[in-house]
């Protein structure tokens, strides 16, 4: 797995910018500070409902959001090494507007499902045509493999939902400030078959503020999860913010 460096982060990830002080997205109509204030889930979902249509342009163009690219590159490296297959069943957990899913498809992965709590985000993701299934997922609640999962008003569902555990899970841009929080991390492991790789990015500033250095390993140990690798990757390069990429396995 590669460890990309952030050319905008000469202090090794100690960013000068403070996203908690941001108040508006570049087009001025969404209060982005909500996402960095550990809000209740319903308030966070209201933010993403308002932001869904401009989310990609704001994050990628204005802030230089590179976490999806680096996380997918790590997944592709696993495929190159024979750890997973290009036709492996992959869950893009917290898929949002589908940035990671589109990159997985471009990297040759042929069976990718997406899940997100925001219906508005899933609607945008569905337009990409890269997901076999799209369904609702609350990452603060136990993961359940059932056949009644919401598919985002039926978008992109091919036949009956496939409820088998996944060969790999990728989760980009979900963890950091919360919700969800570090203690919710074990829940997504239930989506993966035993021993399957689960790649999770954590916002670097959220990591510091929410005390992940102190809390991560006790949470993983209590849940029987192994931290196979931790790699620093890019997050928002125009703001000098890095992310931590965790490779997790259980069973």
Q: Where are the domains of the chain?
A: 67-250
Choices 1.10.3720.10, 3.20.20.105, 3.30.420.40, 3.40.50.150: CATH for 67-250: 3.40.50.150
189/20 Cα distance (integer angstroms): 29
Tokens representing 50? Answer: 């308002």
From 60, 16, 52, select the one nearest 235 (Cα to Cα). Answer: 60
**CB of 92 within 8 A of CB of 118?**
no
Per-residue pLDDT of the chain (251 residues; tens, 9 = 90+): 333 333 333 333 333 355 544 444 555 465 555 556 555 666 656 665 556 556 666 666 777 889 999 999 999 999 999 999 999 999 999 999 999 999 999 999 999 999 998 898 899 999 999 999 999 999 999 997 544 444 433 344 433 345 579 999 999 999 998 889 999 999 999 999 999 999 999 999 999 999 999 999 999 999 999 999 999 999 989 888 999 999 999 98
State the pLDDT at residue 11: 32
From 150, 195, 136, 204, select the one nearest 175 (Cα to Cα). Answer: 204
């Amino acid at each position: 797995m590669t460890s990309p460096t952030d050319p905008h982060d000469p202090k090794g990830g100690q960013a000068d910018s403070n996203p908690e002080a941001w108040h508006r997205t570049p087009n001025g109509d969404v209060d982005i500070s909500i996402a960095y204030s550990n809000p209740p889930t319903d308030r966070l979902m209201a933010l993403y409902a308002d932001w869904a249509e401009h989310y990609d342009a704001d994050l990628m163009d204005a802030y230089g959001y590179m976490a999806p690219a680096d996380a997918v590159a790590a997944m592709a490296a696993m495929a190159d090494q024979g750890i997973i297959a290009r036709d492996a069943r992959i869950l893009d957990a917290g898929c949002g507007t589908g940035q990671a899913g589109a990159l997985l498809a471009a990297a040759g992965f042929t069976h990718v499902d997406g899940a997100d709590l925001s219906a508005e985000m899933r609607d945008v993701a569905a337009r990409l045509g890269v997901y076999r299934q799209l369904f609702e997922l609350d990452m603060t609640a136990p993961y359940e493999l059932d056949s009644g999962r919401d598919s985002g008003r039926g978008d992109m569902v091919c036949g009956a939902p496939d409820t088998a555990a996944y060969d790999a899970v990728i989760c980009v841009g979900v963890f950091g400030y919360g919700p969800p929080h570090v203690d919710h991390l074990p829940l997504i492991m239930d989506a993966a078959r035993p021993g399957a790789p689960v790649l999770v990015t954590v916002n670097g500033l959220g990591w510091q503020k929410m005390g992940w250095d102190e809390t991560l390993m006790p949470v993983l140990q209590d849940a029987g999860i192994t931290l196979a690798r931790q790699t620093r990757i890019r997050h928002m390069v125009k703001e000098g913010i890095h992310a931590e990429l965790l490779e997790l396995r259980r069973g």
